[in-house]
Amino acid sequence: MLLRAVIWMNLALIFYTWAVFSGRRQGLHRKHLLIFGLGLVCDYLGTTQMNHFAAVYGKAPEWHNITGIASLAGMAFHFLLALAASFMGKAESVNRIFHRVSLTIYSCWLLAFISGAVSGMLRMKH
């Protein structure tokens, strides 16, 4: 259970990082939406697995639960924003603002990812 969660979360990290920085460098394109969507699905699956693990072995610290849920919601909002911009044909005009928001949400998500990894390693130590 934990191994699956770790794999899903690391896949989310790879896809989300790829989508954010590739989209920033190349401009927002539909291929980035696919990569982004894969990251979001992997994050959701990893979070679900982590919740199952927590139900059996004990919950993570409350601060991590809050940042994790907020980050998953931020990532979903980020994806919907990219999707709307792309389908409205306004991707180019939104790129500057979108990428500023993108880095902020990505940084928050990365903070939750790192805090979860650290929290998990500290709990495994005990």
**pLDDT recorded at residue 126:** 60
Residue 94 scores a pLDDT above 70: no
> Residue 65: which pLDDT band, with cuts at 50, 70 and 90?
confident
**pLDDT recorded at residue 91:** 57
Instruction: Return the structure tokens found at 109.
Output: 């998500």
Burial of 117 (0-12, 13-18, 19+ CB in 10 A): middle
Residue 37 scores a pLDDT above 70: yes
The mean pLDDT of 29-39, rounded to a whole number, is: 88
Helices within the chain (DSSP H only): 2-26, 30-57, 62-87, 91-125
> Residue 15: which pLDDT band, with cuts at 50, 70 and 90?
very high
**pLDDT recorded at residue 119:** 75
**pLDDT recorded at residue 39:** 93
In whole angstroms, what is the distance from residue 11 CA to residue 38 CA?
A: 9
Letter string b/e over residues 27-53, b meaning 16 or more CB atoms within 10 A of that residue's CB: ebeeebbebbebbbebbebbbebbeeb
Residue 31 scores a pLDDT above 80: yes
